[in-house]
Structure 1
Amino acid sequence: MPIYNKIKANMAIPSEVQALIDRLNQELAQIEREASEASNIVRSLLLRFSDNVTLIGLFATLSNALLFVENSRRRIQTTVESISPENVRSQVIQEAGEDLAELLGRVLETKMLVNTVITRLDNLR
């Protein structure tokens, strides 16, 4: 669940940064949902094939993706708190936007990785 779906109206966060935050939250929610579902599938397969190195690797990848989601949400929260005060300098907001844009790139990479794991799982069935 996204930490910051909408920022309080009295906080001076530019609309571009807010849009980036919203996109990040949306992508993170999708990763979390898909990685959790895939993780449950792998977990059930591991009960039958506990020594399968491929399944163990897939489970580790999905667990890392879920940890990445948690860490990213904390990073977003910290960034939002740093730019929320009324008298924050424009340079701080710009740097925050750049950090969030970089995070979006990493989020999209993680999303592709989770999709690759899901495809491999589908091929195993």
Structure 2
Amino acid sequence: MAIPAEIKALINRLNQELEETEREATEGVNALRPTLWLFPENAILTQLFANLNNVLFFVETYRGRIQRIENILTLADATPSEIQEAGLELATILGRVLEAKIMVERIIARLRDLP
């Protein structure tokens, strides 16, 4: 069965948001690493580093979930109920991804403010 256009568009948006979030989180980790190396006991830097690494794990986890949903939808016998459930789950994932993206942007902004 072909994936409905609205759901395909949502999947494409999710993949784009995840890619951007991963890129920003990786940049943050790479920017933070030298400073953390200089101040290994700094709890705030450690927390920021952990948060960014958690986001990277989050990205990989949700990529897998999206792929699983996409696989279910491509089955020939996906019911309208399964399609609706998949759409709801994808919408929920989008909300979580956007929250993670905002958190990463805030962390990056804090890092830019460091001397």
**TM-score normalised by the chain length of structure 1:** 0.89
Q: Which amino acid aligns with 1:109?
A: E
Shift of 1:87: 2.1
1:14-51 CA-partner distances (Å, limit 9, x unpaired): 00000000000000000000000110111111111111
Equivalent of 1:119 in 102, 109, 112: 109
Q: Which has the higher helix share?
A: 2
Partner of 2:35: 45
CA distance, structure 1, for counterparts of residue 94 and residue 20 of structure 2: 13
Alignment length (residue pairs): 115
Q: Which amino acid aligns with 2:58?
A: F
Shift of 1:86: 1.8
**Identical counterparts, % of pairs:** 50
CA distance, structure 1, for counterparts of residue 114 and residue 42 of structure 2: 12
Give the 4+ runs in structure 1 shifted more than 3 A.
Answer: none
Equivalent of 1:98 in 77, 88, 91: 88
RMSD: 0.8
Partner of 1:88: 78
Partner of 1:12: 2
Partner of 2:65: 75
